[in-house]
Amino acid sequence: MIALDNVYKTYSTGVSALNGISMRIKKGEFVFVVGSSGSGKTTLFKLLLKELEPTSGTIYINNKNIGRLRRRKIPKMRRGIGVVFQDFRLLKDRTVYENIAFAQRVVGKSSKQIRSSVPALLSLVGLSDKEKAYPNELSGGEQQRVALARALANNPPVLLADEPTGNLDPKNAWEIMKLLEEINLRGTTVVVVTHNKDIVEQMQKRVITLSNGVIISDEQKGGYYED
């Protein structure tokens, strides 16, 4: 599903952010990626989305070598990955309904398909009563739930979340994590980059720890280690 073989990334400044990363994440797994500031987590995230190219090494997403994709195939590859960020990134001048519908419209879904799927997505994230609200009328936790619904709008096999609880209080953070767990149980592969030690410790999932651009541990039911 996701595979990295000996991936290196050196920025043009000469900084080596990733120094030989290899990993396999199977379909249906739930994985935390942790590591101190500067360990390479965001670089890894950007490589998986093909926002950056590795200096060397190979990356496979949904069994395709993304280094070999033709430019016109990149949007389709990205559609296979739902993405959630720390800062939600909702369209501020659009309602909750429109935010989710928009993600589907840009990939050419019909109005009929959208009218049936948006309520189902809102129900999944527990926001059926908020479809007419604007993002600034919602709490942080609610905004993140809308972002999750939007990320899932095109049924991606993989969901990547970069610090999804970074702007949330502990209660909302847990609600988002439980939702990610539920989404995973429905079959989506979930990869979460986080600094949230309590959540990582309690969720008892696979944990990949990065330090200075290398993997220093990869454990099933892992904990959160400081390096």
Residues forming contacts to ligand ATP in the complex (CB under 6 A) are 11, 13, 15, 17, 35, 37-43
Tokens 């989506």 found at:
188
Q: Which is nearer to ligand ATP, 33 or 101 (CB)?
A: 33
Supply 141's token pair. Answer: 């936790």
Shortest Å distance, C-beta 97 to ligand ATP:
32
Q: Which is nearer to ligand ATP, 37 or 63 (CB)?
A: 37
Q: Which is nearer to ligand ATP, 42 or 58 (CB)?
A: 42
In the chain, alpha helices (H): 41-48, 74-79, 96-105, 111-124, 140-151, 170-185, 197-203
Shortest Å distance, C-beta 40 to ligand ATP:
4
Q: How many helices, marked H, and strands, marked E, lie in the chain? A: 7, 10
How many angstroms separate the Cα of 160 from the Cα of each of 13, 72, 214? 27, 22, 20
Q: Which is nearer to ligand ATP, 15 or 216 (CB)?
A: 15
Shortest Å distance, C-beta 188 to ligand ATP:
23
Shortest Å distance, C-beta 38 to ligand ATP:
4
